[in-house]
Chains A and B, each alone.
Chain A
Amino acid sequence: MKVPALSMAAALLIGTQLAAQQPMFSTRVEAVRVDVLVTDRENGPALLGLGPDDFDVLDNGVPQKVELVSFEQIPLNVILALDLSDSVEGDRLEHLQAASSALINGLEKDDQVALVGFSHVVTLGAALTSDHSKVRQALGDTFASGDTALIDGTFAGMMIGESDVGRGLLIVFSDGVDTASWLTPDKVLDAARRSDVVAYGVVVQSRNKPEFVRELTSATGGRLYEIERTSALDKAFVQVLEEFRQRYLVSYTPRGVEPTGWHRLTVSIKGRRATVRARPGYLAGPVSTPDAALPR
C-alpha cells in the first residue's frame, strides 16, 4: 500500500537479489496509492476520464488531497497463482492453460507476467518477465498432482507482486479448498492488507464457500469470480484483465493521521452516484503485536 521509500524503490528496480541486501525499509508512509475501479453501478460499465479533483479520499475519516490519478499509464505486473493439485487433472488443466494463454495474449508489450503453481508444493514456473513466451512455455510444462496449498501459493504470488514496483495484479485460481498450506489465512490476509497488490480470485463453484479467496479479494480491492465450469475460465481471466485496465491509481500523501497501524480508507466520487471498488484500508509499518488493530 505504501509507495516505497527511496531505498526500497532503488533496490527493486534492479531485481530481487539486490533487494535482499537492502536494510529494513522505512516505516514512514510517504505516499499511499490506491487502486480504484469506478463504475456507474455494481457490475456496470466503468466510468472513465476522471481526474484528481473527482475523487474524495478519507484516511481514517480524515479528508486527503488526491495528488495524482493515473490511468493506463503504468505497465502491469500480472502474477498467475494457479492451483495445480489433483483436482485440476484432465480437462480442467487444459482449460486453465488455455485461459492463461488468453490472458497473456491480452498483455501489452511492457506488461510483465509471472507464474506460480501450487499443489502442496509451491513452485515458481516463471519469474516476472516481459518475455511472455517464457511464461507460455512454463504453462505448457504444468501438470496436476497432489494436495492444495492455496494459502501458501497465494502468499508466494503476492510476494512476487511486491518484488517489483509495477502495478501488481494477482490472479488466484483454485477449484477446491486448502488442504496443505503451512501458512494460515489470517497471516496471508494480514500480509495482503500491507500490500499494494490487487488480488482477483477465480474459483469453481462448489458446496464449499471460497472464504479465503473472498476475503483476499475484498481486502485488496479486487473481485471474486465464481464460475460454474472451467470451460468458462478463459472468459473470466480476460475479463479480469480488462477490468483491471480500467482502474485508476489514486495517490495521496497522508496528512493528519497516525503513521502506523490500520488505516480505514473511504473512496468516493464527488457529485455523482457511482460504485467504487477499492481496498477497505491499509496497514502501515510493522506491528509490535500481532493482530493489532486489524479489521475482522
Chain B
Amino acid sequence: MTPRLSVVTAALLLSGGALGAQVQRQQPIPPAATPVPEISIATDARISRVEFWLKALLDHEQGITDEALKTVASWWGDDLQTMRLDVNALLRLMRSPGTVRFSWQSQNDPKPRDIRYAPAQLQRLRAFACVASGTAREPACATILRQRGLVDDDLLELAIRVQDAQDGDNFVLRRGAMLHTDIAILKPAPTEPRSAAGYSPGSGGYRVLIQDGRQMNLSQTDDHWEIARGLLANIRPADSSRPAPGRDEMVRRWYRATATWMQDAGDHETQHLDRARELFPTDPDILFLSGSQHETYASAAVQSVREGAVLPAGVTIEIGTEARELRQAETFFRRSLAAKIAQPEAHLRLGHVLGELNRHTDAVPELEEAIKSTSEDLLRYFGFLLLGTSQEALGRYDDAQASYERASTLYPTAQSPFLALTELARRRGNRAAALRSMQEVFDLPWSQFQRYDPWWDYDVAQSRHVGDLLKELRQPFLNEARP
C-alpha cells in the first residue's frame, strides 16, 4: 500500500531546466519592457552560510541524519533562497575567477536579481572558490589564501581533498548534490516552526499531500531536489571545458536512484525525470521510470486530486487526464523497450497501459512476453492478472480464467485473482462458480498482513530495488566524511 502520495514542484532553479511539475505557479504575463532587476545585497551572515555549506560537504556522512545535514536542512524559505544565490555566485567564481557581477534568474520568478557583494565579502567568496575548485595552489589563489582569516583549517582540508580527488570542482558539486539529496530523502524534523511568511514569491515549491485519494494538505516547501539538480547540471568531464552532465555516470546513477526513490515514496516531481531525459534521452531505465510515473499519474488516486484539488490562486496541478497520462506512459515504455528490448517489467507495464487504453489486442503480446521472460513471482503475478483482464475483454474467457488461476497460485492469499474469477464467472452466467470464488475472498485471513495482495503495491512495485540503487549511488562517497 502506498500510504501517502505527494506531488510537488520547485519554484526555483539553480540552473536552467524546463519546468513541468504537477503544481506550478502560473507564469505572469511578461511585461513589455525588460524588467528592472531586483537587488539582493549580501550580508556577512550569508557568506558564512556558504562557508558552512562547504564544510558540511566534508562532514556529512552519506545516508545519515548528522549535524551537518541538520544544519543545512534548517535553512528554509528566504534563507535557503539566498544560499542558492550565493552558491551560484560561488560556482561562477570557481569557473570564472574574474567575475565581478552576479545575477540570478529563476524560472518561476521572471524578475532577475542582481547580487551585490561588498569587496570583503567577494574576497571571501573568491577564497572559497579557490578551495572548492581545487586550484588553491595556483598563483592567483595562493595570493588570496595567504590573507589571514579568509579560510580556516577545515577549508584547507577541503582544498586538499578536492585536489587529491582529481575530479576538479566536480568534487564539490557531487557532494553538494548528495547532501541536498539526503536532506530531501531523510527529511529531518524542522528546528523551528515555518510559515508562508518566510517565503518570498518564487522561493519555495508547493507540495500536495494525497492520502486515500484525498488532498490532505498543500504546503510550501524548500526544494532540495532542485538544488541538487542545479549542482549536477554543472558537472564537467575531464576532457571538456563546458558542463556535460549527460556524459557522467554518477549523474545517471543519481537520476535513476532518486527518481526510483521518489516513486517508492510516492513523492512525485515531473520535472525531475524531464531533466533526466534531457540529459539521458535514450537511457532505458530513465525512460522506464518516466513511463511508470505517468502510469501512476493516470491512477485513480492521483486523478481524483487533479479533479478536486484546492489550490491558491495562480497555482495549477500539471497532471493530464487519465487518457493523456496513459498515452504518455505508453510512449515512454515503448521508447525504453526500443533502447533495450529485454525488460520484462517494461513489457508488463506497457501491457497494463494498453489494457487501460482498451487496446487489449495490443496488450496481450506484451503481457505474454513479460511472463515468458521473467522468473520473478511478483512480475508473473501482475502479468497473469493483467493478461486475464485483456483476455476477458477479448472474450477469451477460458484463457482468462486460466490466467487468473495462475495468478492465484503465485499469491494464494491475494484477493484480486479471486475477485477477478468471481466477476468472470458472473459474466459467464456461472453463478455457483462466482459464489465459490467470492467465498474464497471472504475466507481469507482478516488481517491485511496475513493476506498480502501485491496489487495493492502495483504503483510502487517498480521501485522495489530502491535500496540497492541508493547504496550503489552512495558507495563512492562512503567513508569519506571526516572522523
- Residue-wise, chain B 415-459 has the 8 Å CB interface mask toward A (1 for contact) of 110011011001111111111101101100010100101011000
Which range holds the interface residue count of chain B? Answer: 35 or more
B483 within 8 A of A: no
Chain B residues whose C-beta falls within 8 Å of the C-beta of A75 in the assembled complex: none
B392 within 8 A of A: yes
Kindly identify which residue among B2, B304, B393 contacts A177, using a CB–CB cutoff of 8 Å. Answer: B304
Say whether chain A's binding surface is mostly helix, strand, loop, or mixed.
loop
Chain B residues whose C-beta falls within 8 Å of the C-beta of A289 in the assembled complex: 395
Please provide the chain A residues from 170 to 208 with a CB less than 8 Å away from any CB of chain B in the complex. 176-180, 182-183, 187-188, 190-191, 194, 206-208
Please tell me which stretch of A51-59, A144-152, A249-257 contacts chain B, meaning at least 4 of its Cβ atoms lie within 8 angstroms of it: A144-152
Contact between A120 and B456, CB atoms less than 8 A apart = yes
A44 within 8 A of B: no
**A147 touching B448 in the complex, CB below 8 Å, given contacts A8-B431, A156-B438, A289-B395:** no
The docked-state distance in angstroms from the alpha carbon of A123 to that of B419 is 12
Please tell me which stretch of B31-39, B210-218, B329-337 contacts chain A, meaning at least 4 of its Cβ atoms lie within 8 angstroms of it: B210-218
A234 within 8 A of B: no
Q: From residue B212, how far is it (CB to closest CB) to chain A in Å?
A: 4
The docked-state distance in angstroms from the alpha carbon of A99 to that of B67 is 52
Contact between A146 and B427, CB atoms less than 8 A apart = no
Contact between A23 and B214, CB atoms less than 8 A apart = no
Chain B residues whose C-beta falls within 8 Å of the C-beta of A20 in the assembled complex: 432-433, 435-436, 439
**A121 touching B432 in the complex, CB below 8 Å, given contacts A176-B213, A194-B426, A208-B307:** no
B300 within 8 A of A: yes
The docked-state distance in angstroms from the alpha carbon of A123 to that of B450 is 13
Q: How many residues of A contact B (CB 8 A)?
A: 55
A133 within 8 A of B: no
Contact between B435 and A16, CB atoms less than 8 A apart = yes
Q: From residue B447, how far is it (CB to closest CB) to chain A in Å?
A: 9
Please provide the chain A residues from 64 to 121 with a CB less than 8 Å away from any CB of chain B in the complex. 85-87, 119-121
Residues of B within 8 A of A (CB): 1-3, 211-214, 299-301, 304, 307-310, 385, 392-395, 415-416, 419-420, 422-423, 426-436, 438-439, 441-442, 446, 448, 451, 453, 455-456
9 tightest A-B CB contacts, nearest first: A207-B308, A286-B429, A20-B436, A182-B416, A124-B442, A179-B213, A179-B301, A177-B304, A177-B213
Residues of A within 8 A of B (CB): 8, 11, 16-17, 19-25, 27, 85-87, 119-124, 127, 145-148, 152, 155-156, 159-160, 162-163, 176-180, 182-183, 187-188, 190-191, 194, 206-209, 285-290
